[in-house]
Amino acid sequence: MTRQGECAGCAPGFGAENAVPHARHRDAEFHHHHSHASTSHHSGDHHLLAIEHLTVSFDMYDSDAPFFAAERRSHEQLHGLSLSVHEGEVLAVVGASGSGKSLLADAIMGLYEPNACVTGTIWFDGELMDAKKLPQLRGRGISFVPQSVEHLDPLMRVGDQIIGACARADRDLRRQRMRAFMEAYGLDASVERMYPYELSGGMARRVLLICALMDEPRLIVADEPTPGLDLDIAVHAVEDLRTFADGGGGVLLITHDIDLALTVADRVAVFHGGTIVEETSASSFASPDTLRHPFSRALWRAMPQHGFAVPDGSADGGCA
């Protein structure tokens, strides 16, 4: 186990020095920085995913200094971020596009740039993770739906990418599973013989979601999985995430579309200023009076059905 504060380019990892003990606690109580939905429960007396005090910074040269005199500085992107996902629930992380939410997904998946410095703790299914363990969970406990369709290999046929590397004995079973998903998402059987460049943006996003569902993970991290999809297909996609959670899995849905998120989410984590400012039941968004943080209330008022009304200064108070 490496110590907190070591940079990913040298020896990435998380430390346990500031970890919050995940001991037995009641389902309904406010703890670990969040409140609960009525469906939240702590199987095994712990969360499926728990992140405590996550900070991600990048060692960069000062862009304002002369080229040959520029000094390296640490630029912090995520600040003391904490959140949890319970078994059987969808947690929606909502915030503005381009605000850094995707960096949270990268941190969970153990995808670090060489100049990244990561501190904090990540627990998965009660086990403390580090930067060596997290990559081992990809496709073996945690599946990722990336934001960009460029994650598809342009030189490999779609069907081969969905089926993935597997033993010959498993290939026919995985092909049947793939075809069932493709039919459910309105993809013709001919798509499995196509290359990614032959797909529309919406088709490519459906392929990415199918790839994540193929391996029967415990947790799905979905980073903006619906842009470019027709509304009916987008609703189908998030409903499939809901079905996955109802079967006992956990979903971390990162999105800027709060209206769509609220149709399936049990709880909502509000992302602002590089951290989570509030993590609460989705039912709290029924009224601004049940939201604790000023930015959460401003976000509620800015929703179309509430008239896009953002009072002056309401998004600034108390933001981390």
What does the block give as tokens for 236? Answer: 């189908």
Give the HSE-up count for residue 136: Cα atoms under 13 Å, Cβ half-sphere: 6
Q: Among 6-10, 191-195, 216-220, 301-305, where is mean pLDDT lowest?
A: 6-10
Q: In three state form, how does the secondary structure of 31-65 look? A: ECCECCCCCCCCHHHCCCEEEEEEEEEEEEECCCC
Q: Which residue has the tokens 């987008």?
A: 234
> By percentage, how much of the chain surpasses pLDDT 70?
82
Mean pLDDT across 116-122: 92
Residue 313 has pLDDT above 60, yes or no: no
Beta-bridge partners for 119 = 55
- Cα distance between residue 198 and residue 185, in whole Å: 17
Q: What is the pTM of this model?
A: 0.81
- Cα distance between residue 194 and residue 156, in whole Å: 9
Which residues, at least 6 apart from 247, have a Cβ–Cβ distance to it below 8 Å? none
pLDDT digits (tens, 9 = 90+) for 252-297: 999 988 888 899 999 999 999 999 999 999 999 999 898 999 999 9
> Could you say which DSSP state residue 204 is in?
H
Query: Which is nearest to 224 in space by CA: 79, 105, 59, 319?
Result: 105
